[in-house]
Amino acid sequence: MSTLRKLGLVGRRARLTTLLALGVVFGVSSGLFWWLPNKTAAIVINAGSVVALVTSVIAMRDSERIRESMSTRYIGRFPDNVAAVVALVGSATRTLKIVSDHVGYGQFSDPGGCEQYKHEIHRRIADKRVSVDIGVYAESQFQAVAQSQLDCMTKDFVAFTNGKAFKRFAQWRPELAAKMRESPHAFFANMFQNEKGLREEFGSFHARVHTTENHMPVYMWIADDNHAIFCVVVRKDSSDLEYAFETRDGNLIKALAAMADAYLQTA
């Protein structure tokens, strides 16, 4: 459980305690009205209790709004956000909107997480009650992004294939890794073929897969219009860095949903 949720729980308990205390005060002051010989003093006490009770209710309502506006948290850089994305996808019961660069999100950087991600999408598609829309880059945009990364990788491709990320990927997909190890061009050609297969696979299971030529500076996953994860994409040294945030803020989710719809409609 997150710190914010803990604070939210503590806040609710504190507010309930306050209401209970004010209720007791109000009850006592009502009794004093009949017991005190000075009715004017009793009326003043009673009125003060009513004002305090109303003020507390208004304050609680405002605190709920403040708590909602604080219900957004940073969850890390890609691929550390993949597990949270998997959990969000699996939680969808009515609608699921996905806008990201690839259908196989994290297929190289977190192959294990990507397998879980695909599994959860399949489960949502199989559940006829869930409407699934996926927006991803078209082939031309995919190739453009790949080319910028290719230029960087070509400088020392051998070191790249001997690095931790490639070795981790090879443990999950040894046959594909063997093909991708041949050259930078082979790496991206096989990566795209794998991505293309996933797009056809999801499409055959009746998910609506849209492609777009437009640049997407924000990736997002929205479940049931009340829970979202979004990644702000920043270009640095010919590669994209993704900073991920999770939110349950209603107004923010409405804005993200509008952005997602715009991408899906223009795709």
Per-domain boundaries in the chain: 3-69, 74-266
Give pLDDT < 70 ranges for the chain: 1-70, 148-154, 237-239, 266-267
pLDDT of residue 228: 98
The topology (CATH level 3) of 74-266 is Endonuclease; Chain A (3.30.870)
Q: At what angle do helices 3-35 and 39-69 cross, to 10 degrees?
A: 170
pLDDT of residue 199: 87
pLDDT of residue 252: 96
pLDDT of residue 8: 43
The two tokens of residue 50 are 């009513």
Q: Are 74 and 243 in contact (CB under 8 A)?
A: yes
Q: Among all chains, which residue has been given the structure tokens 């003043």?
A: 44
pTM over 0.85: no
Starting at the edge strand found earlier in the chain, the sheet holding 239-247 runs: 72-77, 239-247, 227-236, 218-223, 95-99, 131-137, 208-212
Q: CA 172 to CA 82: how far, in whole Å?
A: 16
The two tokens of residue 48 are 């003060």
Residue 88's identity, in one-letter code, is L
